[in-house]
Amino acid sequence: MAFVNESDSSDWEDVPLVALKRKAPDVKQPPRKRSAEVAPVSKATAKGERVSSARARTSAVPVSSKRKRIASSGSSSSPASSSSPSSAESKSENSAPPSSGSDCDAKDSSQSDVGSDSESESAAGAAVNGRKKQKTRHGATPARVHKERHRARHVHRFGDEDDHYDADNGSQEIKWQSLVHKGVCFPPPYEPHRKPLLYKGERCMLEPEAEEIATFYATKIGTTHVQNEKFNENFFDDFRACLVSIKSQYASRIKKFVLCDFSIIRAHLDSIRAKQKEKTPAERKAEREADADRLREYTVAQVDGRMEKVGNFRVEPPGLFLGRGDHPLTGKVKKRIMPEDITINVGRTDPVPPCPVPGHRWGQIVHNQTATWLASWKDSITGGMKYVFLGASSTFKGQSDQAKYEKARTLEKHVGAIRKAYTKGMRSSELCLKQLSVASYLIDKLALRMGNEKGEDEADTVGCCSLRVEHLRFLKENRIELDFLGKDSIRYLNVVVVDPLVYETLESFCSGKKPGDSVFDAIHSTKLNKHFQKFMPGLSAKVFRTYNASRTLDNLLHMSTPEAMTTDAMVEFYNKANKEVAILCNHQKSQSVSFNDQLERLVERKADLVKQLKQLERRETLDGDHVIVVAHEHVKPLFTPEMNMKEREEEKERVSKLDKQRVEKKVAIKLIESTVERTKQRIEKIDLQIRMKSDLKNVALGTSKLNYNDPRITVAWCKKHSLPIEKVFSSSLLQKFSWAMSTSEDFRF
């Protein structure tokens, strides 16, 4: 697959996206509006009535649906309501174009990036846990048990029945009338182990609160985190603060991190892991089944009477914050989230889930029918909101995904005008307009993220608007090198050929500035987003990324016709196209530790098969009506059902040290031809595996499939070439994109 790195200044809109990018080296009732209703716990009304507090208590008695619910009239002031994802999305994705006039002259009331390219990939890719059948009440009749199990097995997925694409997804419309769920699952309380911390060699029996934090650190011993000075500094600051706050007897003694020894605590943790490994597979299976039974009620919710899977219903446990990349808050202690920190979103007449922690109650109960989240709380480190949503295969998520890709397809109608506008804008004498135009070019052609200003407590990651002079290097022949840390502190290193006007304009932006100065000093992300709204409602950098990623995949898959390819070759063809999308979006991964070993095994296996093929073709060793084929194979581990995990690992290690054994195989002469053909196919398959493993060692294909490639492109292509969709989509993606499975093979993005 050849890609041209050239640019034509006279007609940029016709330049293929990938033609401007060079790969860097390895490296979802009715439209009736209603404001959200909020009932803060323990808050009195004007008549002195308690608002919803009784509903949030921990009593196991079912809450009556006839209980009076009094919602605060000023619901718009509720944090949970105002900060719902739907509201935020509506503001950014469905806002009308700004009034005419220069974006450069507009005074922005906020410096926040209204339509910024913040991506919640982890929520989109959350795993759905537990079984489909619903936990029944004690004493239920067999008929009722059967009915409940039958209903639970039929968990609704978007696209199953009469679901349709909602063009107003993300707006302030009513999303549901009834919402019933079981709330969230909390991690177990901390159990003190009473193992001491050594300080200056002396044993310090810490109080449970401090012991827990020390144990957090001990779990990280042996990882690269403890080699990070900032990680250790942040941890010790919070550890010391805990000692002082609980008035520990060691608060005045433990003052230096380097004098702390966590080895005894670490040894205790290692012994626990060893005991866990000693359990037999049957014991471990029984534990998993018991855990699944306990959590089953959390895995489903009822939305207007239909059963939907819940995404990640677990509250994250306390621990040490790691962050992504070089995060300045790494090592800080994440506090334990309590029920009082949780806001529960349920239907107005639906029962509130009982609080599972004795002696506690939910922080807030809201009835926000414009939001699709079930529960929320504030992150103790970053201050951002965490949400519990329905699963990836739910109606809401399916509608949201479909709306996202339809919006990206709509960009096709406007992209020509946008490109002409920024081409003209680069020749403007107004600095602000010139910078808006160049930034638009970079976001369009290089799929850069928007880029926002970062605070001191955030990682110094960079996007288009936050590029600094030090991130650009101007080379010969209109080539520019971009080198900066992008999202999650992943390095973006790319050399691109740009139009001479772009080269000249960017160079003028950098002229006379210091390395740490901003390239686009006359604009910011909010201003650029408002500029985008002129051309298309809801247009943002992420829409550009989705458009360009999907457009690239669609074009590459239709560059040639793979009718004569084998199934494995077609998968390789698809992966190569998806690889270009991943490179475009800078989706990288670090090479796995076991990469070389895996590659070596494949090479050895191929060499052995080649030798066997030669013996079969030459029929060198005959034994009556058979040909004897000599092979050298690795010794297989001898596992028994009684073995625990530790014993299994020891057996694996034992055989890994053994040399290959000589094995003789007999092949009937009449079966030689078919055996030769099968051997050739196996060699060809291993060749493909070797090439794919080498080509994709530093490229992450999953992110583009999950978030940027319109799944209808893949479904249509697979149908057209009779390739099973399971070959390119995992089971989780098949569930997430169930709405796309009926796509016709004639679909083009």
Q: Which residues contact 527 (CB under 8 A, 6 or more apart)?
A: 103, 104, 106, 108, 432, 436
CB atoms within 10 A of CB 353: 22
| Residue of 217, 387, 574, 708 with catalytic role | 708
For residue 435, which of 525, 517, 539, 544 has the smallest C-alpha distance?
Answer: 525
Token pair listed for 524: 């910011």
**C-alpha–C-alpha distance, residues 704 and 10, integer Å:** 31
Tokens of 277: 């490994």
How far apart CA 574 and CA 569 sit, in angstroms, is 9
By the 8 A CB rule, do 72 and 39 touch?
yes
- Residue found under tokens 């809450």: 63
**Cβ-proximal residues to 4 (8 Å cutoff; 6+ apart), any chain:** 16, 19
State yes or no: is 708 an active-site residue: yes
3-class secondary-structure state, position 226: helix
The three-state (H, E, C) secondary structure of 492-520, written as one string:
EEEEEECCHHHHHHHHHHHCCCCCCCECC
Structural contact between residues 181 and 353, judged by C-beta atoms closer than 8 angstroms: yes
Work out the widest C-alpha separation in the chain, in whole angstroms: 102
Q: Please give the helix or strand (H or E) that residue 626 lies within, else none.
A: strand 626-633
Cβ partners under 8 Å of residue 177, min gap 6: 29, 304, 347, 369
Cα-only R_g, the chain: 30
As a whole number of angstroms, the distance between CA 390 and CA 399 comes to 12
- Residues 213-219: contacts with CB under 8 Å, at least 24 apart: 213/238, 213/239, 213/242, 213/333, 214/239, 214/262, 214/265, 215/265, 215/269, 216/318, 216/319, 216/320, 216/333, 217/262, 217/320, 218/262, 218/265, 218/266, 218/269, 219/269, 219/319
Residue positions annotated with a catalytic role: 708
